[in-house]
Structure 1
């Protein structure tokens, strides 16, 4: 390893050892879950395990429930307290697990950190991704959450007939940002058993968790799914969506009718203002800001058209962030003053930092329909965009390149059974991916053209 690269690695170790990072990813595994996880491992490996690796061991609690010869725990936070009187065959080192090279272990177990790609330092992320790609021979999707890097690291750090058992979000079995990892696992013939945990397991966590076991001793490439009840009884389920239907496939956009994700300006706290913020900073509608929708929670479920009246009552008067900063054209004096007063810490996001001018972004087109990508009903809420509001964040835009029956398309979406074809995100909440939505839009288009 060259000196320059080694120095870069050391710098990125320091980036990771900071309270902001640690605050985002430290969630301790309940003791009963750690003990149950070992019981499932024992079903696959009933004999005593020789060498165990834990890539984010925290206080070392996974080490007190297993039968093994040696336990190698890695914990990035040197201030994390350990469980008292750990066995003599348990060693915990403080380092960045993803940057450490390990000899091969028989088992990798634990609960790796959950950090969105937006919250990871981009330089550190690229170093990690490049290093893991070089070792594995695969290309890593840079949209991947940190826990996906840890799954890959676990696979690379276990023997050819080893086993990996990690507490990770259940959604990885279907999300497109994990396709590269699922393909890597399947190409090696390894089998996956994903146990979907009840929402009460991690009450503070907003995503549905799972114990995912990857058995490297097999050549079947089979995937199995289970639902775990509060008493840890296990029920087999047919698919990640828990129905007999296959998970909704992903399709590229059609030129005539397609969906786009909502704008991610950098941080809504700066770029999406309330009515009070707009008036306080003397910003004018049209010149400095334009209407936007960042969430549909404020709307009644029977609202089908976003009119000026609905927008005013549901967003403007309620104090919602509904005015999008316009930085696509020369700034007015008032808008420049507002942006100049934004503290550097407030705009310290990867999106803002990667721009030549931190606040200047490509102004989005106006969608004919707006759709909430998160939903708990049979289908997501969709509304006609009569006021030309911009789709931001979790609100997707549906665009029509030529005149189409907009109202019929909206009704098709409302009547489509998403419930059985989308993996639950947390509790009753489901989230549809943009290219899954594009699949439904293509179904709608085919339906209308066949009539």
Structure 2
């Protein structure tokens, strides 16, 4: 059999494996097989980099920490002579996959071991080429003791502190360091989130302090390379050598690593100063614009920004107002709540009777501090509904079980302004919406709540007509600001967290405050 026959058989094997596992199981294990076309273009890209570094004819000592069925090794052998590979080692935790792969690759100079790469003790062999797609296992799927073991290993080997929120792929990257010889090349296909999130800082530090990162290519979120994954992927290439601040890093976006839509270079010295690296991958972003934005106030100077409430079970706790009345739930145990963004079509929510929003259908959320025995005595129908919740396991849910009273919600006041937490936008359209809430309705955690503070709060209290100007200022924030501040996922899904929203420039809002001071001097003290 030649390598092309092997690849054909490998794809059949991969299909059988994928069919044998449920989507939930594969998600928990982080098993997302690399499509052959993607593996091929990444290998081609890495070989081009090796050639530019003068390493084209060097023998290859290949390491794949999450070998799977061998997609990258297959792609490599389709582009080079097999004799150029001196040694090749693949490690795989899933015993079923190991059995398939060992049979498949017998006689092809590939040693496949069954084990957890993070726990493996490397032999005397060091490797000069690593290409892999590590398991994407979220932190909450990692056992507490296992996570502590990994954190200690990272600290011991690299003197780096890693967040407990880091996914398994972060540990793979950091713990591979000792397996690589000096000047070796490593390429990782990983979620793009590491460039923005707080727990990705340890990876950003590693790439600029322990090794020399050379290329980072981010795939377009709309171009999902994995049929079964919802994260945006990036290819990170680095060389194991001491970095220099003058070394240049190439960032690219869209298309393929060799033929991207956007390319930008930045020195490692400058990269160390930037907290969020996706700023280099935003169309039309410039350093001048970034500096200009930094001279203006940001939203967190004018607002306290919080998530909406997490009920623990929206289906049980959130009802229509009419349905709640029919179930005998008293109004003292209910609060008006806004519907999700897909249903809430208006950006301005007017207030009606008793502070309820003027909508086609009003929703309420159960929020009650009364003990169950009091509810049973006063409101037997409501008590019966709560008993059904217990039977359904609502009271024993992750959030509800931690509450003193399981049907009492987080304390949130109605916010005058809200921002959607996630969304999709085509072209220049903004995936996020600001809402002006004139009602007394609260909102769930699909919204971010903006509470005016400081000088803005005083100004609004003094002159309620300013609310409209503030709302218009919020709506004028362009989509590019959200993209720089937030993060992108597969399929073009974008999210923004409270702290990220708070860092967005508030130019127009600052100007409004300034105009208010200059045009109405008598209100100056209220704005300070």
Q: TM-score, normalised by structure 1?
A: 0.78
CA deviation digits over 1:129-156, x for unaligned, max 9? 3432333222222233333333333345
Instruction: Select the structure of larger CA radius of gyration.
Output: 2
Partner of 2:360: 313
Q: Find out whether 1:257 has 2:287 as its counterpart.
A: no
CA deviation digits over 1:304-355, x for unaligned, max 9? 22656867537x5xxxxx65453766454536524422439983x5x67877
Structure 1 unaligned spans of 5+: 1-16, 317-321
Q: Quote the offset at 1:44 in angstroms.
A: 2.5
Partner of 2:283: 242
Aligned residue for 1:152, secondary structure, equals helix
Segment of structure 1 superposing worse, 416-425 or 37-46:
416-425
Q: Quote the offset at 1:182 in angstroms.
A: 0.7
Whole-Å separation in 1 of the counterparts to 2:326 and 2:360: 22
Q: Quote the offset at 1:166 in angstroms.
A: 1.4
Structure 2 unaligned spans of 5+: 1-20, 51-55, 265-279, 377-382, 461-465, 516-528
Distance 1:414 1:119, change over 3 A: farther
Q: Find out whether 1:195 has 2:217 as its counterpart.
A: yes
Whole-Å separation in 2 of the counterparts to 1:168 and 1:180: 15
Whole-Å separation in 2 of the counterparts to 1:160 and 1:327: 63
Alignment of 1:19-418 (within 5 A): 22-24=26-28, 25-45=30-50, 46-48=56-58, 50-66=60-76, 68-80=85-97, 82-83=100-101, 85-86=104-105, 87-103=107-123, 104-155=126-177, 157-188=179-210, 190-198=212-220, 199-217=223-241, 219-220=243-244, 222-229=248-255, 233-238=259-264, 239-245=280-286, 254=300, 256-264=302-310, 267-268=312-313, 272-275=317-320, 279=324, 282=327, 284=329, 286-293=331-338, 295-300=340-345, 302-305=346-349, 307=351, 312-313=359-360, 323-326=364-367, 330-331=371-372, 332-333=375-376, 334=383, 336-343=386-393, 347=397, 349=398, 362-375=410-423, 376=425, 377-378=429-430, 380-401=432-453, 402-403=457-458, 404=460, 405-418=466-479
Whether the 8 Å contact between 2:216 and 2:251 is mirrored in structure 1 is yes
When you count helix as a share of all residues, which structure comes out higher? 2
Aligned residue for 1:163, secondary structure, equals strand
Whether the 8 Å contact between 2:347 and 2:436 is mirrored in structure 1 is no
Distance 1:283 1:109, change over 3 A: farther
Aligned residue for 1:69, secondary structure, equals strand
Distance 1:143 1:35, change over 3 A: same
CA deviation digits over 1:25-56, x for unaligned, max 9? 22211111112111122123234454333232
CA deviation digits over 1:171-191, x for unaligned, max 9? 322333312321232223522
Q: Quote the offset at 1:445 in angstroms.
A: 4.9
2:480 maps to which of 412, 416, 419 = 419
Say what the alpha-carbon RMSD is for the aligned residues: 3.9
